[in-house]
Structure 1
Amino acid sequence: MDMPKSAPNKVYIIGHKSPDCDSIVSAIAYAEIKNALAGWESAHACASQDAPGEPHYVYIPARPGPVNHETATVLSSFGFEAPQFVPNVYPQVSDVQFDKPMLVPEGAPLRDVWRGMLDAKSATACIIDPDGRLSGLATLGDIARAELYAPAQKDRYSFPMANLVKVLGAEVLAEGQPEFDGRVFVGDIGVDWARNAMSACDMLVVSDRPDLQRVAIEKRIAALMITDAGRAPVSRELVKLARSGGTWVLSVEADTHSCLGLLWQAVPVDQVMTKHDVATFILDDLVSEVREEMRTRPFKLYPVMDEHGRPTGMIGGNHLADPAHKRIVMVDHNEKTQSVEGIDTAIVLEVIDHHRIGSIETDHPILFVNRPWGSTATIVSALARQNRVTLSPALSGLLASAIISDTLAFKSPTSTVQDRLEAESLATCAGVDLGKLAKAVLEAKTYIEDADPGEILRSDFKEFTVGKSRLGIGQATTSGGFSADLKRQLLAATRNLMEDAGYALVALMLTDVTEGGSEVLWAARDGSLAERAFGYTGVEAGAQVFWLPGVVSRKQQFAPEIMRAVRELERS
């Protein structure tokens, strides 16, 4: 079954701002599971026939930040690409049900554009070049003005002759140059005057006046229109002469007055369209920015362009009155401060997480799965089995890697029996040795060669809010420690981030999986905070670098102590 392309059917499965291996892999795996349950073809998940049905959404794995070295290595090992980068979930043009565009080729006669607008019930047309790219916009108002001003300029016109033939339904007796640009004379003039006044770029509209017809053809004017053709046939001799001289001869059933009134309809739309300062939007534009731009523009509808610069839709203020909001599933987090920008504007459908329950609020009941396990990937694996979804060997290996990463190969105090059981089962399905896989994952996790200090700080960084205080806690894993020079740079980056972003505290855990502890780089506005949080381990007030033996988990051992200390400080 093919997936639907309409925007409202999309659901983004997305992790926290500084995505780690568990966050990225859980988004990928859960999207595969949900798509399988929804009935879509999935390369890595297969739902049993009696599996519970799901709403027909299309689930898209996403990430709000860059992929770190460890995650990139794991993805590559099992043949996966990084999820789509989604920097925010504010409503975008792609979320709006806009209209189909009315596309009109350059050179089209105004009559066809006008009729097309009436049939399509559209007041605006996109004029496109031969490659389908936008040349300008034409509105019903533009066409109305062309008709209104036509009597004032009826003595001179410019249009392709093919347009005139089409508008008049004329019979072509002789052909000349494809474009007409000249004056229009009517057959109520004298022969001598016509002989002196008409030139090679002009047109004569005449009925039963053989004398004037001959003068016009002998002058080799651009075009001769014979009206009332039923009673004013053109002689074969004159037609032959016109063909040799390159003069158009058109035979039209309508009378002269009617034909003159239709000339403006042959004018190409290019002459009346707006070419300059045309506002266009793309699918990624934010609705808030589009709405503001429209306030300064005169049109009711504006083109929505695809990545090739071709119109793919038309959007107006009425489309933005109640734009669709993005639907998301939050994985590996549940706090808004850690989530993708714009989370308050999105519709949260589910939360799959293994952290403390924080500040998330919804307007409606949702599926909220929270387990005190060591990894969100463990939860996702269990959900697949619970819903009778079979995972591919590649996806199984990917999930096993994420469990290993988040539990530090089951050495973290957050690790549980469930984590190991799921990882062993997944490794068996993937056909890999769990011990060898753990070694490879930890090697990738502790890789820091050529790493930028700022990148190390931000690669696994989470924000917490306690009362009025914003706290930022990062974690980097190593095997054997960091160099003294790199630690000095990291401490400086920690201080700078605290000052620049207005945090009450920024701490970076340098977790050594070999020593089983963490060296902490600490920057806090209140000098007593370190002692309040970890004084029982010997940490003194004002400390900026200290070792915490046995502390390897931010979630269970580090962050809770800091939050307790901040609450005590705010109450004192």
Structure 2
Amino acid sequence: MLNIKTIKNSLISDESKDGFCFRSSCSQNLSQKKLAAEMADWNSSFTEADYLGMLSVMEKIVVKYLSKGYNVELPFGSLPFSFSTPFGIHFFLFLGYNLCETWGDFMKKILIFGHKNPDTDSIVSSTALEFLKKKMGFEHYSACRAGHLNPQTDYIYKKFGISTPLFIPDLLPKVEYFMHKGAITTGENESIWNAVSKMRDKKVNVLPVVDKSGLYKGLISSDLIFKSIFDNFDPMHHLSLFTSAKLLKETLKASFLSKHNPDSQREFKIILASTSFSSFSNTLKSHLSQPIIVVTGDREDIQLFCLENKVDILIITGSRTPGPKVIELAKKIGTTIILSPLNTSSTSMLIMYSVPVFKVANTSLKALHAKDLLTNVKKEILSSPLRLLPVVDDESKVIGIMSEIDLHNEPDLEIALVDHNELSQAVDGIENYTITEIIDHHRIGPAPTKSPITFINMPLGSTSTIISKLFIENKIEIPVKIASLLLSGILSDTLILKSATTTQTDVEIAKILGKITGLEIQSFGEEIIKAGSRIKDRTALQIIAQDLKEYTEAGETFTVSQIEVDGTQEILRRKEEFIAQLEEQKKERKALFSALLVTDISNLNSLMLVAGEKKFMDFLHFPKVEEQIFFLKDVVSRKKQLIPIIGELIGEFENY
């Protein structure tokens, strides 16, 4: 298995070969196969097949990158790629360091899931595989779980002080998997000029509006800003403006010569001192009953007259600093003087953009939540004015934008499965995502995939054994905590190496992990088995659900749960409770039957409690302990012993 970090380093480490990689031999018609051959010749660390496989993967990444309209940064410049550019142009030549170093940012997240009612092997395999992948350079893998920890698994994670996989109860299509992440926001008290600048710099026409705590308050768009400016220039509007001295200063990139309540936001009358003194004085006197902003040049008579009439804000244009008399008087009477570097015309235009964002924003648009189901938000998005809406998290902080286009995008994540491969046992909603990898030790029954995937299936006692082998094969050291988890998974799934599923490989790997951890196999195994056999303070539903698997044979659905106990007395004492819950399970899933396999670790035999259709119950010929309870001598493995027998029985039953 290739290590991405090694590949990246090998591909970008040698610039001496004619500039960058294969410049002299590359052409727009260079095929991936030809390129792979040249790469293998240039760097023999990997074979032509290795490079060809990597190019195929990278093509998908590059196409996604280019389709978003990005320019590609080069060590020697920048080239805009068109979407139609053949990949044979040789992305190593044209993409340079920038993409090679950041390509992980454009790869989809891969969530690692065990089965939806996870046992210890399922959970620890997810954690260990994430660690292994990241050590190999795959930072986009994350361990997850679809169900709650059973008592044994909970005990193990707490004992070793390890964080459990992220709990994701289902994978129904949600906004967070399709939205455009990392939305640029604007503060509600920022000027619309600042918002316009962000739109221009980031090449967007919409910004979510947030308060000083980062909480969502509304949405501002270029259309709303245009409407605001248009309204302010309307002759019937008489040039009134809601702003503050601080916003005016920031918008104009000006400076204060005197200031008074610079943060105070209110509605001002704007008067331009562009007429004769007589005309200006008449205009000013007619509006003295309201807050006033006067824009003027270096006319001291106008400036002093404004101060005598105690205008609120005096903007002097062209960086023409007034005399000391004007500044001193302004400070004395509480008038703010702003010195603008722009001429009068530009200043009078630009102050229209000093309005705070919240006065222009649409505050009636409700944000979507990241966890909202796609089916529930489609109508809201399509009916919104801009056919898009901001997305917030649990704290109402903006984390993205969801648009009409995003509704048709592929999700930004893919799935890896451990310890199962049948979709009936997988997290709900998995059919909406691409499965990229499966590591398992059970029978094979997966749904068809759209493209080839990595599928490791081995007849071993646990998935933890397989993942331990992957560490060893890739020469990656197993840390003590990870080794402790993997040893737990092996001992739990093989009943301390006594189950019929146990192989010599399981025994050998367990010994290796025991040496790494310093744990004595037998005593540690007994410790974790005991932790999982507690039933006194747990309901029948909790026990049946903790390790339940659903199967399909000959078109019939059935479920089998399993629990290991040190003696079956407590189960038999509560048999009515367990059988009643199995009846509920059967009805809920419309199953042929539901069963609970109770494995006694003291004698390595099992009882099976069954709730099923009467005809099928009559067909069962296991030794009966009492009604709906059967004795299974030497049967301890659901996977290797019970399920094959059940499969044959159902086949016979269907033909009965």
Q: Same fold (TM over 0.5)?
A: yes
Counterpart CA distance in 1 for 2:128 and 2:346 is 70
Deviation readout 1:499-529 (Å, 9 max, x if unpaired): 223222111112222243222221112x121
The reply to whether residue 354 of structure 1 matches residue 402 of structure 2 is no
Spell out the pairing of 1:470-485 with structure 2 (5 A cutoff): 470-483=557-570, 484-485=572-573
Deviation readout 1:308-341 (Å, 9 max, x if unpaired): 5433433423334322353222221111101111
1:563 equivalent in structure 2: 647
Unaligned runs of 5+ in 2: 6-100
Contact 1:62/1:84 (8 A) holds in 2: yes
Spell out the pairing of 1:25-40 with structure 2 (5 A cutoff): 25-36=124-135, 38-39=136-137
2:292 equivalent in structure 1: 202
Counterpart CA distance in 2 for 1:414 and 1:463 is 20
Q: CA deviation at 1:239?
A: 4.7
1:269 equivalent in structure 2: 357
1:153 equivalent in structure 2: 237
Deviation readout 1:84-133 (Å, 9 max, x if unpaired): 21223345555447254333233332233223322321101233333333
Spell out the pairing of 1:46-195 with structure 2 (5 A cutoff): 56-96=138-178, 98=180, 100-150=182-232, 151=234, 152-168=236-252, 173-178=257-262, 179=264, 181-185=267-271, 187=273, 189=279, 191=281, 194-195=284-285
2:40 equivalent in structure 1: none
- Between stretches 183-192 and 482-491, larger displacement belongs to 183-192
How many percent of aligned residue pairs carry the same amino acid? 28
Q: CA deviation at 1:236?
A: 5.3
The counterpart of 2:122, out of the listed 18, 23, 34, is 23
Contact 2:179/2:406 (8 A) holds in 1: yes
Contact 2:118/2:148 (8 A) holds in 1: yes
**CA distance change for structure 1 residues 543 and 118 in 2, over 3 Å: closer, same or farther?**
same
**CA distance change for structure 1 residues 503 and 163 in 2, over 3 Å: closer, same or farther?**
same
Counterpart CA distance in 2 for 1:227 and 1:22 is 74
Contact 1:4/1:58 (8 A) holds in 2: no
- Between stretches 110-119 and 182-191, larger displacement belongs to 182-191
The reply to whether residue 223 of structure 1 matches residue 313 of structure 2 is yes
Contact 2:218/2:365 (8 A) holds in 1: no
The reply to whether residue 302 of structure 1 matches residue 389 of structure 2 is yes
Counterpart CA distance in 2 for 1:549 and 1:411 is 14
Spell out the pairing of 1:396-545 with structure 2 (5 A cutoff): 396-483=483-570, 484-525=572-613, 527-532=614-619, 534-535=620-621, 537-539=622-624, 543-545=627-629
Which is richer in helix?
A: 2
Counterpart CA distance in 2 for 1:143 and 1:119 is 16
Q: CA deviation at 1:235?
A: 6.4
Counterpart CA distance in 2 for 1:203 and 1:394 is 69
Counterpart CA distance in 2 for 1:482 and 1:422 is 35
**CA distance change for structure 1 residues 454 and 100 in 2, over 3 Å: closer, same or farther?**
closer
Contact 1:378/1:422 (8 A) holds in 2: yes
Q: How many residues get paired? A: 548
Unaligned runs of 5+ in 1: 40-55
With normalisation by structure 1, the TM-score equals 0.85
Counterpart CA distance in 1 for 2:339 and 2:458 is 84
Query: Which structure has the higher relative contact order (CA within 8 Å, separation 6+)?
Result: 1
Q: CA deviation at 1:455?
A: 0.5
What SS does structure 1 have at the residue aligned with 2:477? strand
- Between stretches 309-318 and 484-493, larger displacement belongs to 309-318
**CA distance change for structure 1 residues 173 and 375 in 2, over 3 Å: closer, same or farther?**
closer
Contact 2:156/2:488 (8 A) holds in 1: yes
1:242 equivalent in structure 2: 330
Counterpart CA distance in 2 for 1:523 and 1:115 is 68
- Between stretches 164-173 and 347-356, larger displacement belongs to 164-173
Deviation readout 1:187-246 (Å, 9 max, x if unpaired): 55375675465236234456687766555432323234556897xx96654554333222
Contact 1:15/1:64 (8 A) holds in 2: yes
**CA distance change for structure 1 residues 148 and 513 in 2, over 3 Å: closer, same or farther?**
same
Letter aligned with residue 144 of structure 1: F
**CA distance change for structure 1 residues 244 and 334 in 2, over 3 Å: closer, same or farther?**
same
1:554 equivalent in structure 2: 638
With normalisation by structure 2, the TM-score equals 0.75
Deviation readout 1:476-510 (Å, 9 max, x if unpaired): 12111143442221111111121223222111112
Contact 1:401/1:441 (8 A) holds in 2: yes
The reply to whether residue 394 of structure 1 matches residue 481 of structure 2 is yes
Counterpart CA distance in 2 for 1:131 and 1:571 is 68
**CA distance change for structure 1 residues 238 and 466 in 2, over 3 Å: closer, same or farther?**
same
The reply to whether residue 278 of structure 1 matches residue 366 of structure 2 is yes
Contact 1:90/1:326 (8 A) holds in 2: no
